[in-house]
Structure formats: C-alpha cells, structure tokens
Amino acid sequence: MPNQLSETPDRLADQESTQSATGTEKKSVFIKTYGCQMNVYDSDRMADVLAPAGYAETLDPATADLVILNTCHIREKAAEKVYSELGRLRALKEERERHGGSMTIGVAGCVAQAEGEEMVRRAPIVDLVVGPQSYHRLPDLLKRTGNGSRGIVETDFPVEDKFDALPALDKKKTIARGRTAFLTVQEGCDKFCAFCVVPYTRGAEFSRPVANVIQEAKDLVAGGVREITLLGQNVNAYHGEGSGGKDWSLGRLIYALAEIDGIDRLRYTTSHPRDMDDELIRAHREVDVLMPYLHLPVQSGSNNILTAMNRQHDAASYLRLIERIREARPDIALSSDFIVGFPGETDQDFEDTLSLVGEVGYAQAYSFKYSPRPGTPAAGETVQVEEAVKAERLARLQDKLNIDQAAFNKSCEGRTMSVLLDRRGKKDGQLVGRSPYLQSVHVDAPDAAFGHFAEVTIDKGFANSLSATLISTHRDQGANQT
C-alpha cells in the first residue's frame, strides 16, 4: 500500500472556494503528487494552506498560476521523473511568458529535501524548493517569489511548527475529497535501513499529540469521512503525547479513535516489524472497526541480507510475529515490500526470500529492484548485484507473489463482505469500493449507493480485483454529499 504511486491529482479542492476569505486576488494551483500516501496527505494540506492566500486547485497545469510537484526520492526512477516533468513545464512556462503571463514552479517533497540548492542549479525554471517539513510556509515563500525572488530553497526541519501551523480541515473541502481519508499521525524515521533515504528526507521520528489526531479525525467525520487510514513512515512507532503527559502507543490511539461515532473503518500504514507491540496486536482481535489488513514490510527472507540492511529483525522473528497476528485475527490479509538485488545478495539469499514468501502467503505485495540512493550506506557497497540478475530475481519473485495474490482473491469467492462504494467504475452502472482486505471490488449498483457502505457477495476473484453482486446498501447519516 505505501507504494501505490499516485501520479495524478486524484482529488480537487472545492471549486467554489476560488474567492479567498480575505478577498485576496484569485489564482490557481496545480499540484502533482508522486510517491507514498504521506505525499497525498501533504498535497491536500498544501492546498489547504494555499486556499486562504487565494489559490484554488485546478486540474490543468497549462492555465495554473502555480504548479507544485510533490516529489518522491525513494528510487532513482522516482526522482528522475521529476526532471522529465520539469522539462515539460519549462515549455508551458515559456509559452505563458511569451504571452505576457507568468507561472510559478515549486518543487516540494522528498526530492526537494534531498537536493535543495542542487535542484535549482539543475533546473533553473524552479522558483521555489520546499521540503516536506516546511510547506506550511508556502504563502510567505510565494510572497517572496511574487516580489521577484527566484530559486528560493526552504528545507528546514521544524516539524512541530508544521502541524501547529496547518489550518483546521475545511468541511466543504473534506466533503469534496470523499468518504475515505488519510490522517498523518507520525512522520520521519530513526531506523536508518541501509538502503533508504526516508530518514534523511523526512527527518527524525515525530508523533503528533493524541488530542490533535482525535480532533482531526472528528473533523474528517464531520466532513462525511467513514474510513480513515492513519499514516506514518513508521506508523506503529507512534508515541504521541496523550492524557496526563504520558505517551500513547498506536494501539492505544486506535482504541480511542474507534470510540468516535461515525468512524466505520480504520487502517494504518506503514509498519515496521520491530514496533508491532502487544497492544496493537490485541487491537486487531478486539477493535471491530480496525480492518483485517496489515502491510508489514519484511524486505528480504535472508538473515544475512536483513542484517546488512540494518532491519533489526530476522526472518524467524518476523514469522513468529505473523503467527501471533494471525492468532489475534485469523482472517487478516498480509502485505509486504521486498527489495531484490541488495548489495551482496546471493542466489541462496534470494531463495530464502522465496521460501519466506511461501511460508507467509501474502494477499498482496510490492517488490522492487534495489536502487542505490546517494548518501545511504548501501550505495557505497562494492559488491553490487548485476542489473540482469536483479531483473531475473524480480520476475521470479513477482510470479510467486502474483500467484499468492490470485489465490487470496479466489478464496474470497462466495463470501459476503461490506464494501465502501467510493469510486465510479469504468462501465456504466458500476461502482467500486474496497473490501475489508483492501481489494478493489466492482459492483453493479444504483448511483444512489455512491459514497455508502454495501453488503455484497463476491462472485469472482481476479488477479488484481474482485467482482461482486449487491445484496443491500446502508445509507448512513453522514454529511450531506451534495
């Protein structure tokens, strides 16, 4: 789940809010999001920060006054995409300037953080570079570009400031964004896996205080949201300040959120095996609204490689953990991330990964060829695996994972499930929603069911989705969708 790349602006702010409350001049912003769900959340929050400064969201970069690329640095390909996009934007910007107009180009997110000044040198059309912890400063930074400054770089790490400075959620915008929402509760990472840029691009681990999280969850519910996914680069390392000044774990936070009237589904991602504590596992047994799905990346099944990766767990402890989670919630669907071709990975190490996959039986998974990232310890290793070997291992691993995924989907056939129908299908009369286990489910249903939960019977499990027959819909008392 953390790697479902989101490269299209899949949400648009309420179009009526083109006139700012302060009467500022109307302008438009186009935000393109790359990378993980945390960036999707951040893009929405950037739009929220920009609205009072007079910016309404648009889907058309060609007419936008401001274009922001919210970028990802996790693999080389992800980072390079940004430069291709900047090439395309350069043509648009020049065209606008030829006609006497202007376009401000900003780069946000993890490439912005990692490259900073370098970005402006490599792509001089960039007016503004803003890191993931500084985007609450966008209105001020834009005032500076408006006054003729170019190449402004803002990559500090004032993480507490950001959440304090972000505006409360706007009810109309929340309604426009639909029934499912992300809520960032934790940011940053102190784990320093040898391959990973996140500790450098997002900074040290930080948890938002419990009261802030609960308030934002209540605001989401007031805006019609019924399913919340709690986000963090290391979400189960959550340790936010709770009542009496004591830190709460993610498990405790989930018990509290489940009490909020109107939250029908809770999920969280991404977790680290080291931080799956007893309370969180117990929540999977006891909290009805906590969905039976867990993304728990293992990366490799070889102890040699796990040690070299600095993952701080071995294959056996991961398998024991899975056993305990399954005892608590026998039907839980499991997911993972894998890296093949980490420096020094031998054929035997790779076989160990295949054998772990065989033991777990994942419902879905994401797998990648190792990509050396500047500044990370593994990038400097002398024994890099050849590209052709990486490609062959990835193909074998993905074949196995696909077979397991198809088997999981098939095992859903004949079952009755609840689905939150929050997307329209490609075919007329078809609505789409997620099963409790996170698969997309396609159902023929009246449009009145859009945005509501439905009971369905799964007819068919395909490679990547399920199809189902509608039994009944539950119209709830949520916010008015019109």
Query: 106 or 109: whose CB is closer to ligand F3S?
Result: 109
The one among 180, 201, 236, 299 contacting ligand F3S by CB under 6 A: 201
Q: Is 370 in the site for ligand SAH (CB under 6 A)?
A: yes
Q: Is 270 in the site for ligand SAH (CB under 6 A)?
A: yes
Residue written as tokens 């393109």?
32
Query: 265 or 267: whose CB is closer to ligand SF4?
Result: 267
Q: Is 199 in the site for ligand SF4 (CB under 6 A)?
A: yes
| Alpha carbon separation from 36 to 93, 142, 221, 270, 463 (Å, rounded) | 27, 25, 23, 10, 23
Residue 212, both tokens: 């802030």
Query: 378 or 454: whose CB is closer to ligand SAH?
Result: 378
Cis amide linkage into residue 22, ω under 30° from 0: no
Q: Is 269 in the site for ligand F3S (CB under 6 A)?
A: no
Q: Is 192 in the site for ligand SF4 (CB under 6 A)?
A: yes
The one among 145, 299, 300, 364 contacting ligand SAH by CB under 6 A: 299
What CA–CA distance (Å, rounded) separates 159 from 196?
20
Q: Is 272 in the site for ligand SF4 (CB under 6 A)?
A: yes
Site for ligand SAH in 216-245 (CB under 6 A): 233-234
Q: Is 37 in the site for ligand SAH (CB under 6 A)?
A: no
| Alpha carbon separation from 460 to 250, 364, 420 (Å, rounded) | 35, 17, 18
Query: 362 or 368: whose CB is closer to ligand SAH?
Result: 368
Site for ligand SAH in 1-30 (CB under 6 A): 2-3
Helix and strand numbers, DSSP H then E, in the chain: 15, 21
Residue 68, both tokens: 């922001």
Question: What is the closest distance, in whole angstroms, from the C-beta atom of residue 267 to ligand SAH in the complex?
Answer: 15
What CA–CA distance (Å, rounded) separates 186 from 192?
16
Q: At what angle do helices 210-222 and 250-258 cross, to 10 degrees?
A: 30
Question: What is the closest distance, in whole angstroms, from the C-beta atom of residue 205 to ligand SF4 in the complex?
Answer: 9
Site for ligand SF4 in 234-263 (CB under 6 A): 234
Work out what residue 39 binds among ligand SAH, ligand SF4, ligand F3S, none; the CB cut-off runs from 5 to 8 Å by kind. Answer: ligand F3S
Work out what residue 473 binds among ligand SF4, ligand SAH, ligand F3S, none; the CB cut-off runs from 5 to 8 Å by kind. Answer: none
Compute φ and ψ for 50, nearest 5 degrees. Answer: -85, -20
Q: What angle do CA 96, 101, 107 make, to 5 degrees?
A: 70
Which stretches within 99-155 are classed as H helix? Answer: 109-115, 117-122, 138-146
Contacts of 6 (CB under 8 A, 6+ apart): 33, 34, 35, 37, 39, 40
Q: Is 196 in the site for ligand SF4 (CB under 6 A)?
A: yes
The one among 9, 242, 297, 451 contacting ligand SAH by CB under 6 A: 297
Cβ-contact 365, 385 below 8 angstroms: no
Site string for ligand SAH, 67-96 (x = CB under 6 A): -------xx---------------------
What CA–CA distance (Å, rounded) separates 157 from 386?
37
CA 363 from chain centre, in angstroms, equals 19
Query: 197 or 432: whose CB is closer to ligand SF4?
Result: 197
Residue with nearest beta carbon to ligand F3S? 35
Query: 34 or 450: whose CB is closer to ligand F3S?
Result: 34
Site string for ligand F3S, 138-177 (x = CB under 6 A): ----------------------------------------
Cβ-contact 340, 397 below 8 angstroms: yes
Cβ-contact 454, 427 below 8 angstroms: no
Helix (H) or strand (E) segment spanning residue 307? helix 303-308
What CA–CA distance (Å, rounded) separates 1 from 16?
32
- In the chain the first and final C-alpha atoms are separated, in Å, by 30
* Sites of contact with ligand F3S (CB under 6 A): 35-36, 38-39, 72-74, 109-110, 197-198, 201-202, 233
* Sites of contact with ligand SAH (CB under 6 A): 2-3, 74-75, 195-196, 198, 233-234, 270, 272, 297, 299, 337, 339, 368, 370-371, 373
* Sites of contact with ligand SF4 (CB under 6 A): 189, 191-193, 196, 198-199, 233-234, 272
